[in-house]
């Protein structure tokens, strides 16, 4: 058997290449990539994302938006007569070429075999063509086809497992994938919004990596708590946020109801840094117009308001490379969430009228502080403290010795500015500017 594409670290927390090198999963969400872009557009998209530092692309073989009946730009659909037993070779040659190009550019193909609405008795556009009688054969087909590709399988597809025969279909699909690829690739599960795979498939022996969909509501959500919740469970598995809030998607309130406001680059940065400092093995970025590959002149869907080409260069997308650069700058495998580093936060300076009444406090208030709550993690010789609101802070870095060398990392531009040497039990430390997020770095002094 060929070597696996990825393995789970011995402690059950991280993703590694077979030789032991850490793999930093930084994905973009391109659910409709295989369905809606032609070859030239695909090349433009993939080369742009590779240049922005992404290491994976999440996409769907049987796509959500009428992916079985509306053909690709080249005129192909996945199956003849909607029959999974009759795959269309022209369509899958297209998938082959896209997966191969991702890998050539150094990006993993994080493939959903199907969106959830294609499973019998599941809600959505459908049509519902997969069930326990044919899912295993379909899984075996695609598993064998991408056996030697750099792939992470993601089962599920934005649905829970309560409606039969959804879970049984996923089990059969997983068995088929393993038969087809010889067990070479890890598997995860994409849950519905505001849920984790731990709620649905924790005891499934095919599952290797947990996934959250923290979703498209609650800008103040502190996703660190979600990641920590899953890391505390047995069996121990890596976890990441596979669908956080998308840049430029409407903020949803009271269900799937747009509020009129949109998620910004600052929102997507908060989800990324908090999750990673809580111990996530990686992170996924998303953009409203990119996941659907919205084009000029098309009917508006989910308030899409720009062409996908323009959306590729939104600030949050370009800032994801800085996420990767920060975590690559220190030994990532050592990094563990650490409580007690931040002793006090001066939230009075934060320029939000809803928060100005707060005082320098410790411990954190139970309510109203999620938007500016700090998240900290440390390795053997360093610590990172993410400050979503850029508030002045007091810290205890005593585990790094009597003194530490401090610096500020700018998540918007990826630059680092030195802040001198400080006693490990610091006085108030002021960020370069308030009202925007920063990462405070503390390094052990020689």
pLDDT of residue 114: 98
Could you tell me the pTM of the whole model? Answer: 0.95
**Are 169 and 277 found together in one domain?**
yes
In the chain, the number of structural domains is 2
Give pLDDT tens digits along the chain (446 positions): 456 789 999 999 999 999 999 999 999 999 999 999 999 999 999 999 999 999 999 999 999 999 999 999 999 999 999 999 999 999 999 999 999 999 999 999 999 999 999 999 999 999 999 999 999 999 999 999 999 999 999 999 999 999 999 999 999 999 999 999 999 999 999 999 999 999 999 999 999 999 999 999 988 888 999 999 999 999 999 999 999 999 999 999 877 788 889 999 999 999 999 999 999 999 999 999 999 999 999 999 999 999 999 999 999 999 999 999 999 999 999 999 999 999 999 877 554 433 333 333 333 343 345 788 999 999 999 999 999 989 899 999 999 999 999 999 999 999 999 999 999 999 999 999 988 999 999 999 99
Residues 177 and 112 in one domain: yes
Residue 399: inside a domain: yes
Residues 324 and 345 placed together within one structural domain of the fold: no
Looking at the fold, whether 53 and 124 belong to one and the same domain comes out as yes
How does DSSP assign 29-92, residue by residue? E-TTHHHH--HHHHHHHHHHHHHTT--EEEEESS-TTTTTTSPPTTS--SBGGG-TTSB-HHHH
Does residue 64 sit within a domain? yes
pLDDT score at 1: 40
Tokens of 354: 């809803």
pLDDT at res. 368: 44
Residue 257's pLDDT is 82
Nearest of 186, 227, 189, 229 to residue 208 by alpha carbon: 186
Q: Is residue 262 in some structural domain?
A: yes
Residue 300 in any domain: the answer is yes
Structure confidence at residue 2 (pLDDT):
55
Do 185 and 107 lie in one domain? The reply is yes
Please tell me whether residues 296 and 387 are part of one structural domain: no
What residue spans of 82-165 are helical by DSSP H? 89-104, 135-145
Residue 1 is assigned to a structural domain of this protein: no
Shared domain check, 223 and 346: no
Pair (198, 280) in one structural domain: yes
| Residue 400: domain span | 338-444
Query: Which of 266, 298, 331 corresponds to the end of one domain?
Result: 331
């Amino acid at each position: 058997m060929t070597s696996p594409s990825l393995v789970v670290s011995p402690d059950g927390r991280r993703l590694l290449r077979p030789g032991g090198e850490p793999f930093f999963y930084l994905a973009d969400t391109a659910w409709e990539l295989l369905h809606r872009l032609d070859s030239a557009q695909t090349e433009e998209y993939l080369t742009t994302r590779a240049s922005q530092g992404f290491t994976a692309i999440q996409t769907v073989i049987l796509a959500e938006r009428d992916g079985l009946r509306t053909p690709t730009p080249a005129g192909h659909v996945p199956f003849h007569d909607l029959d999974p037993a009759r795959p269309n070779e022209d369509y899958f040659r297209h998938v082959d070429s896209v997966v191969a190009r991702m890998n050539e550019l150094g990006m993993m193909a994080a493939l959903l075999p199907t969106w959830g609405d294609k499973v019998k008795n599941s809600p959505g556009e459908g049509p519902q063509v997969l069930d326990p009688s044919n899912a295993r054969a379909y899984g075996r087909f695609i598993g064998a086809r991408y056996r030697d590709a750099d792939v992470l399988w993601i089962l599920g597809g934005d649905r829970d497992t309560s409606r039969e025969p959804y879970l049984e279909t996923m089990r059969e699909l997983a068995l088929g994938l393993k038969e087809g690829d010889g067990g070479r690739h890890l598997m995860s599960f994409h849950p519905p919004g505001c849920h984790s795979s731990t709620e649905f498939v924790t005891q499934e022996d095919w599952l290797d990596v947990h996934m959250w969909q923290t979703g498209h509501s609650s800008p103040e959500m502190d996703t660190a708590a979600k990641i920590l919740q899953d890391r505390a469970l047995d069996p121990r598995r890596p976890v990441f946020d596979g669908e956080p809030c998308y840049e430029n998607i409407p903020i949803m309130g009271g269900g799937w109801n747009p509020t009129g406001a949109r998620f910004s680059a600052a929102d997507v940065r908060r989800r990324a840094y908090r999750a990673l400092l809580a111990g996530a093995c990686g992170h996924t970025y998303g953009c409203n117009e990119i996941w659907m590959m919205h084009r000029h002149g098309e009917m508006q869907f989910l308030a899409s308001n720009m062409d996908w080409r323009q959306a590729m260069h939104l600030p949050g997308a370009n800032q994801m490379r800085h996420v990767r650069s920060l975590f690559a700058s220190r030994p990532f495998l050592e990094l563990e969430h650490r409580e007690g580093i931040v002793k006090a936060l001066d939230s009075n300076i934060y320029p939000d009228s809803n928060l100005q009444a707060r005082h320098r406090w410790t411990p954190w208030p139970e309510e109203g502080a999620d938007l500016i709550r700090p998240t900290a993690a440390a390795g053997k010789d360093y610590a990172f403290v993410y400050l979503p609101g850029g508030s002045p802070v007091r810290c205890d870095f005593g585990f790094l010795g009597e003194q530490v060398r401090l610096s500020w990392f700018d998540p918007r531009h990826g630059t680092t500015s030195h802040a001198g040497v400080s006693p490990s039990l610091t006085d108030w430390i002021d960020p370069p500017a308030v009202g925007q997020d920063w990462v405070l770095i503390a390094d052990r002094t020689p």
